[in-house]
Structure 1
Amino acid sequence: MRAPLLAGLATVILTGGTLGITAPNQADDLKILYVRQAATNCSDQNAGTLAQPLCSIGAAAAIVTGGQTVDVGTGSYRERVTVKTSGTPEQPVVFVGTSASLIGENSGFVIDGQHDIVLQNIQVNALGDLPAVDAHDVSGITIRGGRYSLNSSSGTPVVRFAAVTRSSLSQTSIVTGNAATSGVRMDAASSGVDISGTTVSGNVNRSLDVPSVGIRIDGPGNTVIGSSIGGFTATAVVLGTGAAGTVVANNVVTAGAGHGIHNNGATGTAITSNSIKQRCLDGIRVDGASSGVSIQNNVLDSNGVAGRVGCDPKALDGVEIGIYGDAVSRTVIDYNNVHHHRTDSYAWGTPTSLAGFRAASGQAANDRETEQPRDNYDSANSAAPGFQKLDRAGTPRVDDPAVPNSGAGPVTFADRGAVETIRPPVASFDVTLSLAPQKVTVDASASTPGLHPIRSYEFTFGDGSVVTQSSPVAAHTYADPGNYSVWIKVTGTDGQSATSSQPISVLYPTSTVGLLTMSNRRYIDAGNATTGLRANQLRLGATAQFDVVTAGNHQVALFSRSTGRYLAIGTADPTAMTATSQSVDARETFTVAKNTDGSISLKASTGQYVTADPSGTVPLTASRPTISTWEKFLQVSTTDTNKSLKARVNGRYVSADGAGTKPLIASAATASTWERFDLVDLGSGTVALLAHVNNRFVSADGVGTKPMIAAAPAVGSWEMFYLTRSAAGTVSFQAAINGRYASADGAGSKPLITNGPAISTWETFTLG
């Protein structure tokens, strides 16, 4: 690219819309003409000093000379300004805006026959049929910064260059407000114009009946580099027959009704390292008398799909890269990446696949059909015409050691497309929740470095606590239960960073229980949480323990201690049940229905009840509209499992004799499997006793008239006992069926029977 046209400016410094003057004093005021519309003492007959400013830009344009700057203050100026004075490359005429806008019918700038003019950070909002900038027979015009817009139905461009040479348009926003309005138009006599770092935005109308163009070039030796062009009903960038030796490189071209880049008869064009996506017609099209065209290092994605929503329904499908007519023998295509939604992603006269294109043209040996960004890395041809040493953001080409260099030319590691990817780190982390102490442990060890090693990990816990450290694991305890967002930011030694966040719920548990299914008297197991929960555990082990938390609105959530996650119904399949959620929302909340037999049922937010298949091999689902045995669960506190009962009368343990086939008797000297029970909470102070030896419930047989026996497959009134705890730490069991206490009859020499009218030594047991 050429050297900036402001390179010779010695006393005027233009930065970001502000004007700095070296060693300012009253004598220097002659170098600046101040326009202050809002000043009460402004007058177009004033000298233009800061103390006596002008009111209009036009008044300043009438008297400004080379080497002077017109400083335009805040305001809305309803003017069309004609610049009548030229500068020199070393002493240009400069217009600088400070929050200044030219607005209204036919507002803008006219430069005719002048040279070395600078428009810096000017805003123009034109509403008529004349360009916002209209330059004729001009050289050395520099437009940098600012915004130029036009809302016209006449097809007038926002910026029109006719016979303009040695000029530039950079870091500027060009906006059209009507489907017919084009962005920038340069005629056949315009040459040596550089468009760089500029955004050209067209109307979203997708109709091909009202053609508009983002940038049209008809003259030789011009460039479009590092710019963004989107919208426009005809073409984003079109190069006419007189556009010889044009470089179109490092640009991003986005959605619009027509083609992306259209080389319509231009010669010697370099279309290099552009990223083009979602144009309704061809991404890149070369036709007519085009010759000497090079298309290399471009990345094209989802172009030519005319049936896409928003495209003109009259349009036909296009291709990613299409070469037509006489241009087929005079165009070089290589090192491009394309991703198309149809079979034919190329055209060599007629649409074809990449393989067909290679066979017909002998070109595109290093092209790839891919949508993976990684395939862009370190794979460009740096010897391609128009190749830029820096990418569109000014980033140098960088070798990524994790990617093989498959490019060509002197720099084999340059990337395809408009951006040189300096691979950033990837932030990834796992959360371990512990509800009782309201603690979270965040492990970011899964984060991966980018091009450079990770230097630091920043943990934000959502309650105001932030920890930055070099190691990837951090723990935090919350003062209050609640819902929080945890963030992790990883930063490389090159300063590049990445963030990731996850919502968590740190809620206070009211109890820790196992859920014993009534369908098969097995505990729900969350050990294989990703494939579903199953009712297959005989004992209340670690994988079957759940914290019960209050979730509001009379609902609960269940937290699996083994997975550190909440039970939830699925998103894709709302009947599926897993223990995979870190936060509590509708999918993780359940309404508890209390059944008359002391069991509970869990209704999901979908209105369906959680059901447990008695086989124990089928995962739990939330799929039943009503409650049956399969939808009933008994709660067992983790403190009431695997208990023994020692009779106070003889110091012996109560045994489910004969592996549960005989009545209970306090006869065992030690507690083994026959002497182990789970106390099942039935609510309202009642419990059931589940014998480990046969997984059956203890019953007050014969309405309490017969010895107690562990024989019942389900809980009924015979299996319900009121549990009484004494100050001495002993317990007694009162049968709900007859109101009598379980007694170690005959001082323990006979089977237990619920016949005790009151609590004495025979009716007292110690839980162990």
Structure 2
Amino acid sequence: MRIRHAAGLSAAVISAVVGLPLPAVAAEPAAVLYVKDHGSTCDDSGPGTRAIPFCTIQAAADRVLPGQTVEVAQSSYIEDVTVRHSGEPGKPITFRGAGRLGKSPDIPSISGPLRQPVKISGQHDIVFSGFDVPGFELDGVSRVELSGNWIEQENNAAVRPAVRITGPSDRVRVERSVVRGTSGGVTAGPGVTGTVIAGNDFVTVYGSSVSLTDAPGATITHNTTHTTWNTSVVLDLAGSSDHATITDNVVALGTVQVSAGSTAGTTLDYNTLRWPSADTYKWAGAVYRTPEDLLAATGQGKHDLNGYVQFDDAFWPLSVPKAATGPAAGTAIDSAGPQTPGTPAVDLLGHGAVDHPEVANTGPDSSYRDRGAYEVVGLQEVRLDARGTVHEAPTGPAPFTVELTATATDTWKTTLGYTFDFADGTDPVTSAEPTVRHTYTAPGDYRPKVTVTDGLGGSVTGELSWPVQAGEDKPLTASLAVDQDTSSDPLAVRAKVTTTSPWRISGYSFDFGDGPAKPNEGYFTERHVYAKPGTYTVKSTVTDDSGATVTSTRQVTVDYAPSGFTAITPTRIMDTRQPGSHYPRFGPGSTFDLDIRNRVSGSAGNLVPANATAVVINLTATQGTATSHLDVYPSAAARPATSNVNFGPGQDVANLVTVPVGPNGTVVIRNNSGYVHAVADVLGYFTAGSTDRFASVAPARLLDTRSDDNPLTSGSARRLKVAGAGGVPANATSAVLNVTATGSTSAGFVAAYPGGTQRPAAGSNLNTVPGRNIPNQVVVPLGADGSVELFTNAAATHLVVDVFGYYGPDGKGLFTPVTPSRLLDSRDSGPFGPSSSRTVGGVPAGATAAVVNLTATGTTEPTHLTAWATGTAKPGTSNLNASPGLDVPNHTTIPVDPQGRFDIANNSGTTHVIADLFGYYRNQ
């Protein structure tokens, strides 16, 4: 082996001598790896740089090397973290959370779905600092530091301590952390040695704050235990946990217990016991009430004190003592003992020792550090503000002069000094005044700091929350981008203007081309919802502090997205007959915005999603006082010359309505004349993401109870198989049916719903009237066997059911709603005669079917209308049954030819026909 090694060495030397290339030296690894889960640039397989950070902490933990720091941005990381790599002595692996620990910790949180603790097993030389976590589990570790963490378990959900250390482990340090709502604080078991537990605040711990069993050599110092539950023992040394140090702690309530096997070499001193009890101490099995009793029997606790410590509610949930004077100051202030090895240099909030001006120093040699996790300070915080000397905003062209003002909170009213660090490489400036001026000579973003001192040892540092921005002296420019944003409204856009200016932008204004401009002084983006599809010119106007103004324009085309259908259980969202209804009875010409998204009171979640393009409603007019009609159209749109439900005095008339969704999920319902109550049931909606598409079929009759004189009777339901009949496939999910009630013997209603299911409460589709044929189109989900149930409460009625199409995975048609428009009004061109027909156009070319509301008016004798695609055979079905003297509407889904045309035929007598378009299907 020696010979081989020498030969290899000679070869290396020869290579160097003759000048042959040497292997490249590997680059030093980066000092810092970055984690930031928000933003588009994070990548768990990337380099972990500031520009391309890791998305998860675990990805960084799997890549980190000794001496590197993992810096984690503020966010909520929904993951469980296990540390699998070790550092080296003097070169630890450090996990550092960005932010500040306080009563509302602004630090990154780590919490997987099961809120598992951070796990470190078999590793060494690790620092984990500045995180909000549910706990830590350490097993077989060495030289691990947990500092500045917020350790909390929600509602005591996990039955485990905040930090569990199992052996063999040595030199674990838990310091300056908040432990709250956990099942125990820090626990250590056999094989654990040299644990340091220092400067922690144990708040509302369900169990002992510190519990060590057979874990010798521990240091427990400068901790505060505020509230404990389910235990009387706060600090517990059990088994052989000898040679421990218990000093400078504040124990608000509970017992300090040291077992007989733990007393050897153990020191207990300079602690404050807030509420003494009969068993304040348990030492080697004996119980002592007061420090004097303990001292007399054991020599321990010479400087322990029984005394009141008042906590400051302003810092809740932290256990910070009040900065009071006299007896109210308690016994923890300026009374700590000599610095035990392991004592943190600063308190939990980062304060060093501060001499309370009105409390005597009772520490050794008149020292004035406080007991417990916190140092009571008069100088508590400082805010740093900046303003420009020309304009108020701290933004302008370099060289740029700003005025910095420090506002300190100092309850002791001492003389303060201020040291300003301008963060531009110039020397800091110390001043007795809180305001200074500074000129930034080079362009850049600068975040200055100020450190305030009070002469009593107190100091606090504050940083400017928003940087001073010194820019290049260039003119104002602006660029406008406009994109459709359908996340909450189908015709919404978001305009965003990007600017460059050395000055602050003082004003934004957006003109969306359909109304007055919208001033928006504080923000560079604006959302807008159009009332109808179209092409619009959007203009932005931007002004900066120098008075410069720039305008930009962009054209944007908005339209309803082609959408699939989702059927829902019929849900009533309006019934003006109900006492206390949000929607009152409709009067002459009155309109109401109907919220179709939200469920009725007491139900959770949205009924119709925010991105729905159109909604299907069954609308019923009842108790009308005059001949009138209800019109339905998207809110914010101009009232169209269309109608949906025509009715006369005292009539109950129902009709299906398909209508585009207006801004904020509302549609308008308008009554033309007289007074009327209205009932609205939502049956389904259209969204771009729905997988159920439409397919029209040649209209076919599925049921006619007149054929065997077998009418439905009151309270009865009849099942009708739809899938597999009339061109409807077996995997269809919903069917488009025209249901006509005829030969009814009493007033009542008919409901259609999925076969084999319970009839929904809001299940009325049409109303029966003796002596009249009443039609209505229904869109009904199919039951598991592909059937629908037909129910009536009329004494008896015949039903005629025709199928016009279906929704399902085999369908290809996506629905595009349109602002309601009139395609035909024969009152302008002459009525339909007996057996006459006309061709109607106006549906966009390429459509396969149109959603049309047909209305018959001026009818001279009972008749029916039939509609079908131009150029195809007339089917033996009906779309609308009309009666003399009545205006009869019916929602229809009509196949159209490639040019978007359909034919309408009248059967008997003469009648006028009105056709209103509400949308169309096109195969995708």
Q: Comparing both chains, which one has the higher relative contact order based on Cα–Cα distances under 8 Å and sequence gaps of 6 or more?
A: 2
How would you bin the TM-score normalised by the shorter chain? 0.3 to 0.5
TM-score by length of 1: 0.39
